[in-house]
Amino acid sequence: MTRERSRGNRGLPARWTLQHGAYYYIPPSGQRTQWDGKKWFRLGKTLNEAYKVWAARLPVPETADTIRTIGALLDRYLLDYVPEKQPKTRTEYIRAIRTLRGPFGAMALKDLEPHHVYKYFDLRKAKVAARREIEVLSHAFTKAVEWGAMSAHPFKGQVRLTGTRPRNRYVEDWELVQAMSLTSKRRTGSVLMIQAYLRLKLLTGLRKGDLLRLTTADCREDGVHVTPGKTKLSTGKRIIFEWTPELRSAVDGAIAVRPAESVFLFCNKFGRELFDESRGTTKGFDHIWQGFIARILKETEVTERFTEHDLRAKVGSDAPSLERARQILTHSDARMTESVYRRKPERIQPAG
């Protein structure tokens, strides 16, 4: 009889264990030479690190012939597909897969049916997370068909989950005027930096990570050169924002109010990047942003909080056409632009 795994180890791949704050792999006795002869091989402190070490040590990924369970499929998916994603997205995938292993890991691929997916969604209290997890599961099955492990996807087009309404907060021009009216006793620092960030955000519509990665070397003779993080590992498509007086002024303003000398347009007080490349996070910037928003709500007439991402939606909403919004937001599909980033009411002439 198979012993039930402890709570901390549920959702982990077979023969993995979490002990004393680190992940370990317990290789079969006949394979220990591959793992430095160790009975317990330390993979790393974080799931990201552990999966990376594990993938490098495995001789070959699961093949179509050996992918018989959903757990084996998720293992192959982690090794072949997830490493291509950006760090933050990769972490989200790993968390989703860990959650999916509990109810689905031991199930045979051929046994999964749409009603199992519906039941999972119904029982999962965190509905937003559940939707994301089911998206990951669905894509893993799409890859299973590609790898020859299955002849058809078991639930694609057959599961319709209740959707979550897209955020519709539109930041008005007067609210931004109020935000820009905040004063700072210092000539550099967080308030002035966020105001410079706002100017550049509204001119380019760039994602937060792409703005925080910008360096003075990206500001060239013909404009500001950007390779969006979303396309860096796929198409590698580059963008050049051509110079205008407004763009030049915004870049110069960002450089002038930096709290320290740095190659980055936006940096912390030590001149370091505010984007954590290894984790794909922006905690330092987010802390500064929250403080700025708190001051807006306290010192101005703005009463409703807005997010950094709402500014990107404002750029899309203020664009004169859907195609122009899609272009400046660098979306490949205008449907995403329309459903999430066009937040102004549609103006219609009355009939007659």
Domains in the chain, CATH or no CATH each: 7-147 (no CATH), 173-341 (1.10.443.10)
Per DSSP, the three-state class of 345 is: coil
CA angle at residue 316 from 313 to 319, to 5 degrees? 145
Question: Residues 301, 291: contact at Cβ < 8 Å?
Answer: no
pLDDT in tens, 287-317: 999 999 999 999 999 999 999 999 999 999 9
pLDDT in tens, 156-194: 989 988 766 788 999 999 999 999 999 988 877 789 999
CA atoms within 13 A on the CB side of 98: 19
Q: Tell me, what's the pLDDT at 111?
A: 95
Q: How far is CA 22 from CA 33, 34, 35, in A?
A: 21, 20, 16
**Amino acid at position 345, single letter:** P
**Predicted confidence pLDDT, tens digits, the chain (352 residues):** 345 556 556 667 778 888 888 889 888 887 788 888 888 999 888 877 887 787 777 665 556 667 889 999 998 898 888 877 777 888 889 889 989 998 999 999 999 999 999 999 999 999 889 999 999 999 999 999 999 999 999 999 899 887 667 889 999 999 999 999 999 888 777 899 999 999 999 999 999 999 999 999 999 999 999 988 876 655 668 899 999 999 999 999 999 999 889 999 999 999 999 998 877 888 899 999 999 999 999 999 999 999 999 999 999 999 999 999 999 998 888 998 998 999 998 888 898 7
Interior/surface letters 293-304, b for 16+ CB within 10 angstroms, e for the rest: bebbeeeeebee
At 138, list the tokens: 């669905």
Q: Tell me, what's the pLDDT at 178?
A: 96
Q: Tell me, what's the pLDDT at 18?
A: 86
Per DSSP, the three-state class of 338 is: helix
Q: Tell me, what's the pLDDT at 61?
A: 56
